[in-house]
Amino acid sequence: DQQVKQNSPSLSVQEGRISILNCDYTNSMFDYFLWYKKYPAEGPTFLISISSIKDKNEDGRFTVFLNKSAKHLSLHIVPSQPGDSAVYFCAASGWSGGSNYKLTFGKGTLLTVNP
């Protein structure tokens, strides 16, 4: 049972345009959401997070939007740069019969930004 889903395995955008990566979740106990960027053979790098009490969080070129009623979040990257090309993982955590220090990850979306 996949509780965090990234339905697009890949996304290709032109440099300077907006990249929108999407993520859906099914577990209503999730209350904290994160986006990580990963290059091959490296560990994930934390990008941005959002708590369920907010619906938007911005950090430079990165903005995360959370729609709790739809159980959907998205990551916007504006403007996209070739160096943003990587796999992006959505992750979620929340109390579920134990500690909340467990991240449940989506399968990732490969973003390619073309010059």
User: Which residues of the chain form contacts with another protein (CB under 8 A)?
Assistant: 32, 34, 36, 41-46, 49, 89, 91, 93, 98-108
At its nearest, how many Å lie between another protein and the CB of residue 43?
4
Q: Which is nearer to another protein, 30 or 80 (CB)?
A: 30
At its nearest, how many Å lie between another protein and the CB of residue 99?
4
Q: Which residues contact 48 (CB under 8 A, 6 or more apart)?
A: 34, 35, 57, 59, 62, 63, 64, 75
Q: Are 103 and 92 in contact (CB under 8 A)?
A: yes
Q: Which is nearer to another protein, 20 or 103 (CB)?
A: 103
At its nearest, how many Å lie between another protein and the CB of residue 79?
25
Q: Which residues contact 99 (CB under 8 A, 6 or more apart)?
A: none
Q: Which is nearer to another protein, 17 or 107 (CB)?
A: 107
At its nearest, how many Å lie between another protein and the CB of residue 14?
28
DSSP symbols for 25-80 = E--TT--EEEEEEE-TTS--EEEEEEETT-SEEEETTEEEEEETTTTEEEEEESS-
Q: Which is nearer to another protein, 56 or 107 (CB)?
A: 107
